[in-house]
Structure 1
Amino acid sequence: MRLDKFLAETGVGSRKEAKQLLKKGLVTVNEKVIKDGKTHIDEKQDSIKFAGETLTYQKYYYYLLHKPQGVISATEDKWDQTVIDILRNEDYREDLFPVGRLDKDTEGLLLLTNDGQLAHQLLSPKKHVDKEYFAKVQGVVTEKDVRQFAEGFALNNKEQVKPSELMIESVDETSEISEIRLIIQEGKFHQVKRMFEAVDKKVVYLKRLRMGTLWLDEDLALGEYRALTEKELEDLNKRF
Structure 2
Amino acid sequence: MEIRLDKYLADMGIGSRNQVKQYIRKKQILVNGNRPTGPEQKITPDTDTVSFQGQDIGYTRYEYYLFYKPGGCVSAVTDRIHKTVLDYFPKNRRKGLFPVGRLDLDTEGLLLITNDGTLAHNLLAPGKHVPKTYYAEVSGHVTEDDVEQFSQGLDIGEARLTRPAELNLLPENHPEISRITLTITEGKFHQVKRMFEAVGKKVLYLKRISMGSLELDDSLLPGEYRLLTPEELQTITEHTGPSRKG
Which band: TM-score by shorter chain? Answer: over 0.9
- Contact 1:97–1:114 (8 Å) recurs in 2: yes
Q: Which amino acid aligns with 1:100?
A: G
- Contact 1:138–1:177 (8 Å) recurs in 2: yes
* C-alpha distance 236-205 of structure 1, shift in aligned 2 (>3 A): same
5 Å matches for 1:15-26? 15-26=17-28
Offset, 1:34: 1.2
- Contact 2:139–2:177 (8 Å) recurs in 1: yes
Match of 2:185 in 1: 185
Offset, 1:59: 0.7
* Worse-superposed segment, 151-160 or 215-224: 151-160
Offset, 1:89: 3.3
Question: Which of residues 50, 53, 67 is equivalent to 1:51?
Answer: 53
* Worse-superposed segment, 162-171 or 208-217: 162-171
- Partner Cα distance (2:31, 2:233) in 1: 31
- Contact 1:27–1:35 (8 Å) recurs in 2: no
Match of 1:86 in 2: 88
Segments of 5+ residues of structure 2 without an aligned counterpart are: 242-246
Which deviations, in whole Å up to 9, do the C-alpha atoms of 1:2-48 show, x marking residues without a partner?
Answer: 11111111222110000011111222222221141011121221122
* Worse-superposed segment, 35-44 or 151-160: 151-160
Match of 2:164 in 1: 163
- Partner Cα distance (1:77, 1:237) in 2: 30
5 Å matches for 1:1-240? 1-90=3-92, 92-156=93-157, 159-171=160-172, 175-239=175-239, 240=241
For normalisation by structure 2, the TM-score amounts to: 0.93
Q: Which amino acid aligns with 2:167?
A: L
- Partner Cα distance (1:109, 1:125) in 2: 19
- Partner Cα distance (1:143, 1:158) in 2: 26
Which deviations, in whole Å up to 9, do the C-alpha atoms of 1:85-142 show, x marking residues without a partner?
Answer: 011235x233111000000000110111101000111111111111000000101111
Offset, 1:157: 5.4
Which deviations, in whole Å up to 9, do the C-alpha atoms of 1:131-166 show, x marking residues without a partner?
Answer: 000000101111111111111121145652110100
- Contact 1:136–1:177 (8 Å) recurs in 2: yes
For normalisation by structure 1, the TM-score amounts to: 0.95
Which deviations, in whole Å up to 9, do the C-alpha atoms of 1:186-233 show, x marking residues without a partner?
Answer: 000000000000000000000000000000001101111111111111
Structure 2 residue matching 1:144: 3-state secondary structure = helix
Which deviations, in whole Å up to 9, do the C-alpha atoms of 1:59-91 show, x marking residues without a partner?
Answer: 11111111111111110011110000011235x
Q: Which amino acid aligns with 2:211?
A: M
Which deviations, in whole Å up to 9, do the C-alpha atoms of 1:161-187 show, x marking residues without a partner?
Answer: 110100011346x73211000000000
- Contact 1:156–1:197 (8 Å) recurs in 2: no
- Partner Cα distance (2:102, 2:182) in 1: 17
Give the aligned length: 238
Divergent runs of 4+, >3 A: 156-159
* C-alpha distance 100-237 of structure 1, shift in aligned 2 (>3 A): same
Structure 1 residue matching 2:204: 3-state secondary structure = strand
Match of 2:244 in 1: none
- Contact 2:11–2:95 (8 Å) recurs in 1: no
- Partner Cα distance (1:11, 1:148) in 2: 49
% same residue: 50
- Contact 1:140–1:171 (8 Å) recurs in 2: no
- Partner Cα distance (1:184, 1:136) in 2: 16
Offset, 1:54: 1.4
